[in-house]
Amino acid sequence: MVVAAVGFITPAFAVLLPEFSRKAVESSGARASSDVSRMGGKIASLFLGAVIPGVIALALISKPLMVFLFGEPFAAAGPVLQFLAAVLFLRSLEYLFAVGLISLDKNWWVLGPIGGGLIINVMLNLLWIPKWGFMGATYAKLVAEIVVFFLSVGLFQLASHGSLFPKWIIKPILVGALMLVLMYLLRGLGMTPAFLIALAVYLGVFGFSESSTLRQLLGSLVHK
């Protein structure tokens, strides 16, 4: 289910390759890297902001969703889907940064995070599957994806001469944390009302903080 969902999301980033390449070609030297870095940061921030509520929702309904789709015997797979929901935006952003690296003529750099994640996944599977069974494989997959994500971000920032701790990651994470806190405080209302109220606050705060970027994106789409 997670792989299928990622398969629907990632083609959107392939469409961005010509735009990344245009930025790299039209500029020169450090400016080209800076333009690609700035564009990648804006897209990544908006994407994180859009997908975080979806990940939270998927984590909340994971068990009833598995039962609805596959029957009661699959209820035990609910926690697996909860943990792997995070893979949706981690894997998708890895594709985004891979596209950015390719536009900067760093094709071979893409293999680094993939190889690192593969090694870590295999090693953790060997350690954790005998200890925790299928949940051990789930933990290993999530840790490997987190490592690949941060390696992809680091290499993209290095290739584009950006900060190794990009600021674009802060805002969506902080607003997402605010959403979780609100859901916890409003839990007495029930899961659905608490989620909807927290989601409305989340969308308002994040939309206001990214209003200028959203206007630029909308203006660009209208122009094209």
Query: What does R_g of the chain's alpha carbons equal in angstroms?
Result: 19
Highest mean pLDDT of the ranges 15-19, 33-37, 136-140: 136-140
Domain chopping of the chain, boundaries: 2-223
Q: Residue 163 above 70 pLDDT?
A: no
Q: Closest by alpha carbon to 89, among 138, 38, 43?
A: 43
Q: Residue 65 above 80 pLDDT?
A: yes
Its pTM stands at 0.76
Question: What type of residue sits at position 8?
Answer: F
Q: What DSSP state is assigned to residue 107?
A: G
